[in-house]
Amino acid sequence: MTSFNRVTLTGKVANAPRHAYRPDGSPVVEFSLELDDPGDLSGRRSRSLIPIVAIGALVGRSAGLLQKDQFLLVEGRLNQRRWETPEGKQRTVIEVIAADLRSVKE
């Protein structure tokens, strides 16, 4: 059986994007996408924050889109990272590695 790893999300940029560079010199930007969840059976709505990572040429092409509260459509793939903190605690994050970012109207 073949697996397929692709996600499409729409939401708004929840925080100011963090810019950095990888060891190979390629640019990286990280931000969280805020999604409105429809709510549970009691009718309570909630919000989810999904970590998004854009790498390389996509960073330059999307510079004007990456502003807090901007609504985006994000296409990409899920990625799981694991690491150990200096205190010895194990950490895991599931994030979206963006392949495309587009502005959408609210």
d(CA 42, CA 63) in angstroms, rounded, equals: 40
- Which pTM does this prediction carry? 0.85
pLDDT greater than 70 at residue 40? no
Give mean pLDDT, residues 30-53: 83
Q: What angle do CA 7, 13, 18 make, to 5 degrees?
A: 100
pLDDT mean over 30-37: 90
- Mean of pLDDT values over 47-74: 89
Q: Say which amino acid occupies 41.
A: L
The full set of domains in the chain, from first to last, is 7-103 (2.40.50.140)
- Report the distance separating Cα 69 and Cα 14, nearest Å: 6
Query: Is the model's pLDDT at 39 over the cut of 80?
Result: no
In the block, tokens 């854009």 appear at 54
Residue 47 has pLDDT above 90, yes or no: no
- Kindly state the percentage of the chain with pLDDT values over 90: 66
The whole-number average pLDDT for the span 72-90 is: 95
